[in-house]
A and B are shown apart, each in its own frame.
Chain A
Amino acid sequence: MKPAPFDLCIAETVEDVTGALASHGETARVIAGGQSLMAMLNMRLTEPDLLIDISRIPGLDRITVDQTGVTVGATVRQAELAAHAEAREAVPLLAEALSHVGHIQTRNRGTVCGSLAHADPSAELPLMLVLLGGSVTLASAQGRRTVAAEDFLTGTLTTSRRPDEMIVSAHFPRPPAGAKTAFREIARRHGDFAIVSLACIAQGRNLRLAVGGVADAPVAVDLADVSAETLPAQLNALAWRLRGYDDIHATARYRREMIRRLGLDMIMEAMA
């Protein structure tokens, strides 16, 4: 199908965008790479009055790597972050997770911040943001604010972004020095939406575990004093807490079982 008609704003500055969002609110949508939004427009799942193209705004395409981690501007493509040598070195897990995001043809256009804004519950980049304790910086005509991952990703395709705000950047902190990380997901085919995605950071017997695709947003938990003996019970408790949901791809029961099995497998790899 084709998109319903809309006006198209080719923005040149962040102020162009925040000004247009202030006057149009929920009837406007921001587009950068469009790899989620264009499909929704084509299927008429969303019919905005105004589409604001931010892809030509100078300065939003920067990747900054410092001691704290990796900061990614709003128009940085997924393929660009995956290929960025310093970012790969700072947070190796990011590149690993990015290789599961769609296909090369969509990663070449899809942006990192766009995937966060879309907030698919099983998507890899929101999972990474929650696992690493990252944040998103939003701009509006009133100013800027930075929101922690858990406060930003509030549910299925839902974030705490206000209708007058755009994402200007996302920050992925480095894992603690010496920590080991791992990532797993299960999908019907490589590049499909994950049914369940998991990632962890292990430091000795302390573990931070993030789970996507089970609850309606990715969830991270910190587990202390983890061992091969305690883990099955801990993962089982987490699986029941997150409950899962039935859909065309899998049952809630299957999703919980993936936490128990894939989770155990991944954590043992990270802690080995």
Chain B
Amino acid sequence: MKILKDGSKTQVSFTLNGTEVDGYAEPRTLLSDFLRHEIGASGTHVACEHGVCGACTVVVDGKAVRSCLMLAAQAEGKEIRTIEGLAASDDSFNKLQDAFHKRFALQCGFCTPGILMTLSSLQDSGRRYTEPEIREALSGNICRCTGYREIVDAALDVLGDRVVA
């Protein structure tokens, strides 16, 4: 049993987008804040901070989760992927990002990292999804600009079960 004392910082290390990273966190430090302020990976956005909006979605051990509802200490030893991990070495878009670009699936772009991480976790399964399944998955991500139509279209281009012209 380990007790981490309030106010003192302990080392937390995990794999971030394939690279070992570490930093220091208080017991109450949220994973979202740890990623942004300690690691400097500010692509993960923070909005509601109580698990409703999905802006802070990251992929932990292959599963999309809310990084604001997880303590940094709970991430110890995990394999974490964030929006920064989608960038190719030549800065080109991956298929999902490309579809978002083509379909105008973002306006202000604040919710986009969370949405792309939710969809990336679906993409990992290798299967194709129906529109209701895509909409159900995206129901955990709130976008205040687009009305979702373009986001769903972009997601269906890459993950959908029908052929797109």
Contacts and interface: CB of A to CB of B under 8 A. Distances in A.
Interface of A: 1-13, 16, 20, 34-35, 38-39, 41-43, 51, 53, 55, 79, 102-106, 108-109, 189-191
A34 B70 contact: yes
Nearest to B49: A42
A31 to B, nearest CB: 8
Contacts of B54: 103, 105
Chain A interface secondary structure, helix, strand, loop or mixed?
loop
Contacts of A35: 51, 66, 69
Given A2-B28, A9-B2, A104-B118, 13 more contacts: A5-B6, A7-B3, A8-B73, A10-B1, A10-B2, A10-B4, A12-B1, A34-B69, A35-B69, A42-B50, A51-B27, A103-B140, A105-B141
Q: Which 8 A-B pairs have the closest CB atoms?
A: A103-B140, A8-B27, A108-B63, A39-B50, A38-B69, A5-B6, A16-B1, A8-B4
Nearest to A8: B27
B5 interface: yes
B26 interface: yes
Given A2-B33, A5-B26, A79-B63, A106 B4 contact: no
12 contacts: A7-B4, A10-B1, A16-B1, A34-B71, A35-B69, A79-B63, A103-B54, A103-B139, A105-B66, A108-B63, A109-B65, A109-B66
A39 B66 CA distance: 11
Chain B interface secondary structure, helix, strand, loop or mixed?
mixed
B28 A104 contact: no
Nearest to A102: B140
A34 to B, nearest CB: 6
A208 to B, nearest CB: 29
B140 A104 contact: yes
A35 B118 CA distance: 17
Contact of A109 (B6, B7, B69): B69
Contacts of A42: 30, 49-50, 68-69
Contact of A6 (B27, B65, B70, B136): B27
Contact of A104 (B6, B7, B70, B137): B137
A191 B51 CA distance: 12
Contacts of B60: 109
Interface in B2-57: 2-7, 26-28, 30, 33, 49-52, 54, 57
Contacts of B66: 35, 105-106, 109
